[in-house]
Amino acid sequence: MHEVAQALRSLPAVEQLAARLEAPHALAVAAAREAIQARRDELRSGSAGETDLLARAREALAAAQRPSLGGVVNATGVVLHTNLGRAPLGETARRAIARVAGGYCNLELDLADGRRGSRQTHVEPLLAELTGAEAALAVNNCAAAVLLAAAALAGDGRSLLVSRGQLVEIGGSFRIPEVVAQSGARLVEVGTTNRTRPSDYESAIDQDTAAILRVHQSNFRTVGFAEEVEIEALCELGPAVIDDIGSGVLAAGVAALRDEPPVRRSVLAGAALVCFSGDKLLGGPQAGLLVGRADAVERARSHPLARAVRIDKLSLAALEATVRLYRDPAAALREVPVLRMLVASDDELSARAESMRARLADAGIDARVMRAPARVGGGALPLLELEGPVCAVDPGALSADELTRRMRAGDPPVIARVRDGWLLLDPRTVDDAGAEAAVGSVVAATR
């Protein structure tokens, strides 16, 4: 006990240690305080051994100066990994962000007449062209789009009809009943959890009915004894229809997307407002898009809530650049990373997996190419498995959990998945540079 007390007394003062750090005073003091406190805790817990307080303070200082938000290598095989930021942006979108981020831009200025314009003019014509809609509006995410649509069409306390099978919860505890309540509409449930028919809606429609809300079951599926009303039949019932199709599909000819509702179908069916994401399967930045009839879009545009959920200039720049690519379907498949991952051929993936295996073998690490399913992720296509090759790594003397921990602590952090004791590096979600980084991370972590 005496030795512990003596060791505690011998610790330097915070200011004394901070003076030895080459950093602004406040940062140096914080790092010194953290290092000294950690040593106090060790001594009080009976930890023996020497420690270099200055080195520890420098480590704390370096950690404090590193940005918290940074890039990672996604080797998990989950294309739209929510925890990893979902859709990576293509080169065209990244250049668009840089173009407007470095200075002023014509966000709300009409360059033709010098008067104030609308930020929506940068994407509305494109969205209308690609979806067949009369008008369009971009907001900051799809949840905001659904909230705004409900508020605009039924926020005066009138009823909004929703099938019981569509009262869903998606990521982040986003629940449809709560969204409807916040919009000011009155929720009216129709049908049952597994079967809803046109007659269920018809019996609920009255003079107080403002709209029908259809919600896509993005992150799960009801199978078996199930029935739902297609969008065309809903639009024939009379009230305005808000169609929340979740991820949304603009791309054509992508087999993996065949079970997702296409935007154009809902527009052509006559939905007043169609809501979908700008990221996820569209492959752009986080954004929520509303397309549909001009009168309905105008009601959403002029609603007070529209100001609170408006899209920012950087997201708008990336969205415009991404949506422009869809004018040329071949260019979209080539340049939108999400689409490129979804259509990647088995030969391309096998070559990348084999390259990783060979490089690991050269470093003396046991690895092999095997088959394993990748996922779309991001609450889209929950039943779809993208079968393909992966590079499977034997962790050796390490546990798989310890290996993944070390890889996450690397620079850049590499995120992989574990199956049956093997570390899997999935070539679908890494490009060649990412594959090289993943291999380097494994080698460094096993040394």
Q: DSSP for 363-411? A: TT--EEEEEEEEEEETTB-TT--EEEEEEEE--TTS-HHHHHHHHHTSS
148 with 264, same domain: the answer is yes
Model confidence band, residue 259 (pLDDT cutoffs 50, 70, 90):
confident
**Which candidate, 348, 22, 299, places its Cα nearest to that of 148?**
299
Question: What residue ranges in 62-220 does DSSP mark as E strands?
Answer: 73-74, 78-80, 135-139, 159-163, 169-170, 174-175, 186-190, 209-215
348 with 319, same domain: the answer is no
294 with 369, same domain: the answer is no
User: Which structure tokens are listed for 289?
Assistant: 């898009």
Report the distance separating Cα 290 and Cα 146, nearest Å. 8
The pLDDT value given to residue 44: 87
Strand 386-393 and strand 422-425: the pairing is antiparallel
Q: Helix, strand, coil shares of the chain as percentages rounded to 5?
A: 45, 20, 35
97 with 58, same domain: the answer is no
Residues 6+ apart with CB under 8 A from 6: none
If DSSP codes are grouped into helix, strand and coil, which group holds residue 123?
Answer: coil
User: ∠ CA(335), CA(375), CA(400), 5° rounding?
Assistant: 115
Q: Per the structure, how many domains does the chain have? A: 3
356 with 253, same domain: the answer is no
299 with 236, same domain: the answer is yes
Report the distance separating Cα 340 and Cα 333, nearest Å. 5
The pLDDT value given to residue 97: 98
Per-residue burial over 189-216, b = 16 or more CB atoms within 10 Å of its CB, e = otherwise: bbbeeeebbeebbeebbeeebbbbbbbb
**Which candidate, 153, 130, 403, places its Cα nearest to that of 278?**
130
The pLDDT value given to residue 73: 98
Residue 397: CATH number of its domain: 3.90.1150.180
Model confidence band, residue 219 (pLDDT cutoffs 50, 70, 90):
low
| pLDDT tens per residue, range 342-371 | 999 999 999 999 999 999 999 999 999 999
From 284, 317, 335, give the residue that closes a domain.
335
User: Which structure tokens are listed for 360?
Assistant: 């690991």
Longest dimension (CA), the chain: 86
Q: Where does residue 383 rank: exposed (0-12), middle (13-18), buried (19+ CB within 10 A)?
A: exposed
The pLDDT value given to residue 381: 79
Other C-beta atoms closer than 10 Å to the C-beta of 219 total 17
Model confidence band, residue 248 (pLDDT cutoffs 50, 70, 90):
confident
**Residue 154 contacts residue 183 (beta carbons within 8 Å):** yes
138 with 159, same domain: the answer is yes
365 with 423, same domain: the answer is yes
**Residue 338 contacts residue 88 (beta carbons within 8 Å):** yes
Report the distance separating Cα 160 and Cα 148, nearest Å. 13
What are the CA-CA distances from residue 219 to residues 43, 124, 138 (Å)? 50, 28, 23
The pLDDT value given to residue 122: 97
Model confidence band, residue 48 (pLDDT cutoffs 50, 70, 90):
low
DSSP string, 325-342: HTTSHHHHHHH-HHHHHH
What mean pLDDT is predicted for residues 9-22?
Answer: 91
Residue in the block written with tokens 């942006």: 89
User: Which of 217-226, 253-262, 358-367, 422-431 shows the lowest mean pLDDT across its residues?
Assistant: 217-226
255 with 354, same domain: the answer is no
Domain that includes residue 384, residue range: 73-82+340-446
If DSSP codes are grouped into helix, strand and coil, which group holds residue 312?
Answer: coil
Is residue 1 predicted with pLDDT exceeding 70? no
168 with 209, same domain: the answer is yes
107 with 231, same domain: the answer is yes
228 with 171, same domain: the answer is yes
Is residue 382 predicted with pLDDT exceeding 90? no
Distance between first and last Cα of the chain: 39
